[in-house]
Amino acid sequence: MSLDASSSATVSLDDEVEIGFTSVVKWYLGDVSMVVNWTDPTSLLVINNDTSYQSSYAVTTVPTAGEWTQLTLESTFPQPHPIHLHGHDFFTLASGTGTYADAAPTLNTANPPRRDVDMLPASGYLVIAFKADNPGVWLCHCHIGWHTGEGFALQFVERETEIAALYNATTVEDTCSTWSTYQTESGITQDDSGI
C-alpha cells in the first residue's frame, strides 16, 4: 500500500553522531551519551507520572496524536551505523554521504521506503520520520550492540498521557523490583548505557 510522509514535522531533531575517547568509549547523539538507570527506567517514570527525565535519558517527547517527528542524523565517523527505531516502521526521507547541509537533499515524502532499521552511511547523513500513531516509550539506537551500550541511543516518549493506561503498572513495578533485587544479590554493577 502506498503511504506518504509529511513534508513538515512538529517535532524535529538534528543530531550529530560523535564518539568520545576518555577512559571509556562513549557515543553521543547531539551532546548526550544515553545512560538510563536500571532501577529507574523511563517506562516506570511514565507510569508514576514523573516527567522530570534526567538529560542522560535522552528523551524527546512527542505529545500529540498524528503529529510527525523527523530525525536527522549526521556522522563524520568513517563507519556506517544501522539505525533502529522501536515501535514504528519509519519513513526514510533521505540519506547520503557528506553533510546534510552540503548535500541539501530533497526529502522524499511520496511513498518513501519504510523500515525499522536503515543505514546511516559512513561520513554521511540519514533523515527518518514517523507519525505519532503508537503511544509508548520507544528507543532509537545504533543496532550494533556495543555502540548502544556506549550510549548511541535516544528515546521518544510518544503520547505520554496515554501510556500508563496501556501498561499493567503492577507487572512493571514488580518486574523492576525483581530485577533490582537480583542485581543487588548477584553483585551486578551497571557499567554501560543501561539498554
Q: Could you tell me the maximum CA-CA distance found in the chain, to the nearest angstrom?
A: 54
Instruction: Measure the CA–CA gap between 182 and 1, rounded to whole angstroms.
Output: 47
> Quick one: CA torsion of 12, 18, 19, 21, rounded to 10 degrees?
-120
pLDDT for position 9: 87
| Section 21-27 average pLDDT | 79
Structurally, at CATH architecture level, domain 11-185 sits in: Sandwich (2.60)
The per-residue pLDDT for 30 is: 87
What pLDDT sits at residue 20? 80
For residue 21, pLDDT beyond 80: no
184 CB-side CA count, 13 A:
7
pTM for this predicted structure: 0.93
Asked if pLDDT for residue 145 goes beyond 90, the answer is yes
Q: Which three cell numbers stand for residue 55?
A: 538529560
Q: What is the pLDDT of residue 101?
A: 92
Q: What is the DSSP letter of 78?
A: S
Q: Higher model confidence: residue 3 or residue 22?
A: 3
Rounded to 5°, angle at Cα 103 from 100 and 107: 75
Q: Determine the average pLDDT of the residues in 168-192.
A: 93
Q: What is the grid cell recorded at 169?
A: 503498572
Using pLDDT thresholds of 50, 70 and 90, give the confidence band for residue 48.
very high
The dihedral built from the CA positions of residue 169, 62, 94 and 19, taken in this order, carries a sign that is negative
Separation CA 165–CA 181 (nearest Å): 26
For the cut 90, the answer to whether the pLDDT of residue 127 exceeds it is: yes
Q: What is the distance between the alpha carbons of residues 179 and 64, in angstroms, rounded to a whole number?
A: 33
Q: With a cut of 80, say whether residue 23 has pLDDT above it.
A: no
- What are the structural domain ranges in the chain? 11-185
